[in-house]
Structure 1
Amino acid sequence: MRPNLVGRAHILKISATDVQERSSTCGMGGALKVRPDVVSPEWRRRRDDTHPFLGGVIREAACALHDDPRVETWEGTHAAIREKLAAVPLHPATRRYAEHAIANYLEVHEVLSAETPGLEFRCFDPKVFPEPSGTLTVWAPLYESPHGIREIRKIRMGSVRAKPKEPDRWTVVAAHVAGLFPPQRALSLIRVVEIGLNDASYQVLFEATPEVVRSTFTTVALPHLQKIISADSVHPGTFCKDCKIAGCCDALDKWDGFLGQPTPGAATRSVSARDIELYDICPAQWFLTYSQFVPKKTAPGAASHRGRLVHEWIATAHSRTQKCTLEDIGDFREQETRTGTMSEDEYAEIQPYLAQHVEICPLNTGSQIISIEAPLYGYDASADVIIASTPDMIFVDGDGSLVIRETKTTSREIPEDSAGAFDQFFASAWLLNLFASGYRGPYQSTSARLELEVISTSESNVFTWDLADAGVLRMAKKEVRLRAKSWHRDTTWEANPGKHCTWCPVKSWCPEAPTEDAVDADALD
């Protein structure tokens, strides 16, 4: 236990999700997650209770309707669902998704019940106690038949995924918990079923006798479970936003005042520059995508997809720690082009952008790369927010100066000067604000700068800001403060309908999104 932690470390509560996810992330974060009694007296993560946990709302309403006679008809089902959800304070878009998801769960339940006669709901989140001070649990509904078949269900917000050749750790732990849970009758078979709430898809992930389940748990899951319990390494990452010691963890940089907000918001949150940009477009889209995790259209926009391919190519090329040349962007079939998994058409689309990059590639003799697209994490104590940032590249040039390099692709005209680039690309203010908030990187240098590389199919330019310029840093802090203010205080996440609804990945759930007819009419106008 660290000096700033108190509580009974021998009390353990481990879930199937912990075993699946926590053995390969921050060791200390995982070890604390499975010790519910251990806390820090210095800091507590605050939760936003404005919106209920959507997955819990869906499954509780669905299971409560199993024996409701109204679900025998389509009209009756939806009337019963609306009645169940009437008193739940849901966002308008999550309410629409919840109604859809509950109906799909009931549809799958009807099919599964027909396949296993007498199958009945027994409880949520079964818990077993294999050790006096240890609890093993799984977040899932448990069912049982009179013939000794026990079924536990994994619920996905979207569709079922491709079935793995061997059961994963979540599946094995879930089956093990189902097998140990006190039976009403002798068990003959344990089954783990996955259900996709978006399209009523389902599949059997694992099916075995209790004896096989126990042996599979011992070989597949137990080693990872033990690793989580004993881990003590610290590694910042995406799990920081859920960690019980994020605000007092030494592994997170101290970037107090990064967002420029004088008081904490409604809850402990995590934010990146992309989050703020997406929120500015539509608060509801950010909320549905990064808080509620409703299903979204996976196909990215053309510009986003192109930008990702360009970034992947440049990152791969820079990993050689040498300057990019025209020979690197030759014919698609040449090995030197490093096209990876992209198609010939995709490479043809990004090749002009790569040609522009070659002309201004920053690596030269003497350059020392520190990181390529490595995430940085810090904590803003004033706002109670974890700050996430992923610079495209940090390196030391031949003169010994520290350089943060960010690359942007555009189909529009490239800004004329640094002021225009600063206004157009929020990443500039965000990365400048890293230094304004205290970040100095792993390399101590008397000089440092931010370079923004903007490339199109026909031109390119590099805009530069001196990271020692106090005026530039003040400008960056002001921009971040103004852009983050509404996001930081928001708890309603109202939709902001507009032309961007056309390519919004979650518009199918948003009541405010214009219909296809309205979009077509707007285009004609």
Structure 2
Amino acid sequence: MSGNTRTPHTPCVRIPAEAVTARPGSCPTHVRASADHKVEHPGRHKPDPLCTDPLTALNAALDLVELDGRTAEEACARLPRPGERPHNHRGAPLAPLHEGLLTWVRHAVRTWLGALEGPQGQARVPCAQPWLLRFPPRYRSPGARTYEILAHGRSYTLLEGTDQVRELRVPVVGTPDDGAPGPADAIAAHVLATGSPVDRTAVDTGPWRHRAGHPLPTRGDVPAPDRVRVLQVSCTDGTEQVRFDGTPAEAGQLYTERGRPALRALSSPAGARVPGPDCAPCKLHRGCDGPAQVPGLLGFRDRTRPRRTWSVQAGLRHRTCPASAHLHDLGLPGAGPSPETVVRARLARAHRRSPSRACTPEPRPRTTEPQVADLLSAHAGTCALHTVTAGAPVHAGLRLPLQDPLADVLVLARVDLLHRKEGSWIQRQTAVTDTRAGAEGPDLLDLHPELALSVLLFASGTITPGAHSRVELERLTPQGARVDVFDPFSPGLRDRAAAVVSELASPWHQDTAHAPAPGPACGSCPQRRWCPEAPDP
């Protein structure tokens, strides 16, 4: 395809292949809007002080190695550090990397390059830009749209025998997918088989025009492939998982069966709106009535920071160690889930059963950890569903999105169990503790800030309070369980809850450095592997 295609006046819709992958709680309208360059971000741009995408940082380092001839050490040394200005990498700004992220990038670069070392004769030639497939508008009209489909990842060409192979190696932070190829794999394989590489030189003459939605120029001087291959590569241990390996015709057949229907569904202007984590980066968040608007929920007014997502769990992680919290938010691999997280997930599944029924003691499965089994057994006697009438509404494991426009923050409130009794909503939170003794009454809000946010859900009207509404805390211990009850109508309790939430959220909101806080928590820190200040074991 020639790079001299006439630029239309209407911005294009540019869809990466991975956009069709459905994530739990993802919003189709947000995904569609993020690909549509006609939809602009509201308000002024507020850049992040630190890089928030590990794969962007990794690709910048790998570009320096594969395209500029740098060593892995030289490439990582050229990435921006905290306190430096963003670097211009391939026409796009790269924000400084947190030292923990830089440690991960060093590891990921070595892992990636090690996975590339294949048998003799399989020398891969890296491609500087992604492969693109363009669908021009069928009709000439002012509103006609051009669609561009991109296969993101690290692209290579190689010769296997007499076959010209185009290979797309997709880096993943965690574990590669297994099972049958999905819609994203089908689309990537089809783009690889029939598309063209983006012309980097032409893009550099006006990078901002193309980021604003002008169609990307492509090169047409590339030979057609005999085979195409799509695989995922773990940045943790170099594990590879082939997602597709076949001829262009086979790629086209897979695209017809699995890729095209998903692409058409995504391209449809009419999409469902699913309030949740996608509300934070969404370009349509100001005009969406999905998340509840709760001005002042976090207790401060400050819109200077980039729009972000906060939860009580995020606040607690930041209180323990800002560096660990930042690396967790980046999605870097860490330790497995805690027993409390496992218990909460198991209870949510049990409470979602239809018809609803209370939990009862069950034989201990061999695969269940003893501590988890003891906590589940303790819960059975105090399960809230023992007193819920048949047919009453029950919601388990909710994530309620709340907008605080005064702080420009999306708050995700965790609701373990919400049920209706005698016309009133009752909310129960679950916590794992060492003992049933300890703090009492309002002091429990300081120890379990999720309770404080639960009180504010009633105070703000996000959950409509009734005459018998209450907030409950179920404290689970291996020795048994205890339920504490709180009155969400109490003015004193509401004031205490607001103070607890504000004191937890404010330091997180103001922090731009995410410095490590060495101490007793280092021994069990899930991000210890990447922390430059972690003490020796």
TM-score by length of 1: 0.83
Identify the residue that residue 451 of structure 2 maps to in structure 1.
428
| Mapped contact 1:432–1:473 kept (Cα < 8 A) | yes
Say how many residue pairs are matched.
481
Moved more, 43-52 or 456-465: 43-52
**Structure 1 pair 141/366, CA: closer, same or farther in 2 (3 Å)?**
closer
Q: Which one of the candidate residues 449, 463, 467 is aligned to 2:488? A: 467
Identify the residue that residue 113 of structure 2 maps to in structure 1.
106
Q: What amino acid is the match of 1:202?
A: E
| Mapped contact 1:256–1:437 kept (Cα < 8 A) | no
**Structure 1 pair 232/173, CA: closer, same or farther in 2 (3 Å)?**
same
| Mapped contact 1:421–1:463 kept (Cα < 8 A) | no
**Structure 1 pair 108/183, CA: closer, same or farther in 2 (3 Å)?**
farther
CA distance, structure 2, for counterparts of residue 347 and residue 204 of structure 1: 36
Identify the residue that residue 522 of structure 1 maps to in structure 2.
none
Percent identity reads: 23
**Structure 1 pair 9/433, CA: closer, same or farther in 2 (3 Å)?**
farther
| Mapped contact 1:234–1:251 kept (Cα < 8 A) | yes
CA distance, structure 2, for counterparts of residue 193 and residue 365 of structure 1: 51
User: Which consecutive unaligned segments of at least 5 residues does structure 2 have?
Assistant: 1-8, 82-86, 88-95, 138-145, 197-219
| Mapped contact 2:323–2:516 kept (Cα < 8 A) | yes
User: Per-residue deviation at 1:427?
Assistant: 0.9
The residue matched to 2:518 in structure 1 has which SS? coil
**Structure 1 pair 106/323, CA: closer, same or farther in 2 (3 Å)?**
closer
**Structure 1 pair 478/248, CA: closer, same or farther in 2 (3 Å)?**
farther
**Structure 1 pair 124/49, CA: closer, same or farther in 2 (3 Å)?**
farther
Identify the residue that residue 351 of structure 2 maps to in structure 1.
315
Identify the residue that residue 337 of structure 2 maps to in structure 1.
300
1:199 pairs with 2:237: yes
1:171 pairs with 2:185: yes
Identify the residue that residue 405 of structure 1 maps to in structure 2.
428
The residue matched to 2:533 in structure 1 has which SS? coil
CA distance, structure 2, for counterparts of residue 469 and residue 208 of structure 1: 66
User: Per-residue deviation at 1:213?
Assistant: 1.0
Identify the residue that residue 246 of structure 1 maps to in structure 2.
285
Q: What amino acid is the match of 1:11?
A: C
User: Per-residue deviation at 1:44?
Assistant: 6.6
User: Per-residue deviation at 1:411?
Assistant: 1.6
1:341-395 CA-partner distances (Å, limit 9, x unpaired): 953846743354135425x766244782341222211111001011111211112
Identify the residue that residue 153 of structure 2 maps to in structure 1.
140
Alignment of 1:365-444 (within 5 A): 365=389, 368-398=392-422, 400-441=423-464
User: Per-residue deviation at 1:465?
Assistant: 2.1
| Mapped contact 1:501–1:513 kept (Cα < 8 A) | yes
**Structure 1 pair 171/47, CA: closer, same or farther in 2 (3 Å)?**
farther
User: Which consecutive unaligned segments of at least 5 residues does structure 1 have?
Assistant: 1-7, 72-76, 333-338, 517-525
CA distance, structure 1, for counterparts of residue 369 and residue 60 of structure 2: 48
The residue matched to 1:184 in structure 2 has which SS? coil
Identify the residue that residue 55 of structure 1 maps to in structure 2.
55
The residue matched to 2:486 in structure 1 has which SS? strand
User: Per-residue deviation at 1:205?
Assistant: 2.1
More helix by share: 1
Moved more, 361-370 or 228-237: 361-370
1:459-510 CA-partner distances (Å, limit 9, x unpaired): 4332222222222212211111111101011111111111111111110110
**Structure 1 pair 408/153, CA: closer, same or farther in 2 (3 Å)?**
same
The residue matched to 1:200 in structure 2 has which SS? coil
1:189 pairs with 2:212: no
User: Per-residue deviation at 1:513?
Assistant: 1.1
Q: Which one of the candidate residues 315, 325, 349 is aligned to 1:276? A: 315
User: Per-residue deviation at 1:260?
Assistant: 1.0
CA distance, structure 2, for counterparts of residue 35 and residue 385 of structure 1: 24
**Structure 1 pair 403/301, CA: closer, same or farther in 2 (3 Å)?**
closer
TM-score by length of 2: 0.81
CA distance, structure 2, for counterparts of residue 257 and residue 270 of structure 1: 15
CA distance, structure 2, for counterparts of residue 354 and residue 233 of structure 1: 37
1:258 pairs with 2:297: yes
User: Per-residue deviation at 1:264?
Assistant: 1.8
Identify the residue that residue 375 of structure 2 maps to in structure 1.
350
1:109-143 CA-partner distances (Å, limit 9, x unpaired): 232xx465342112233222122411111221221
**Structure 1 pair 66/373, CA: closer, same or farther in 2 (3 Å)?**
closer
Identify the residue that residue 336 of structure 1 maps to in structure 2.
none
| Mapped contact 1:279–1:487 kept (Cα < 8 A) | yes
CA distance, structure 1, for counterparts of residue 440 and residue 402 of structure 2: 30
**Structure 1 pair 144/352, CA: closer, same or farther in 2 (3 Å)?**
closer
**Structure 1 pair 16/82, CA: closer, same or farther in 2 (3 Å)?**
closer
| Mapped contact 1:353–1:409 kept (Cα < 8 A) | no
**Structure 1 pair 218/367, CA: closer, same or farther in 2 (3 Å)?**
closer
The residue matched to 2:135 in structure 1 has which SS? strand
The residue matched to 1:205 in structure 2 has which SS? strand
| Mapped contact 1:367–1:397 kept (Cα < 8 A) | no
Identify the residue that residue 90 of structure 2 maps to in structure 1.
none
**Structure 1 pair 9/436, CA: closer, same or farther in 2 (3 Å)?**
farther
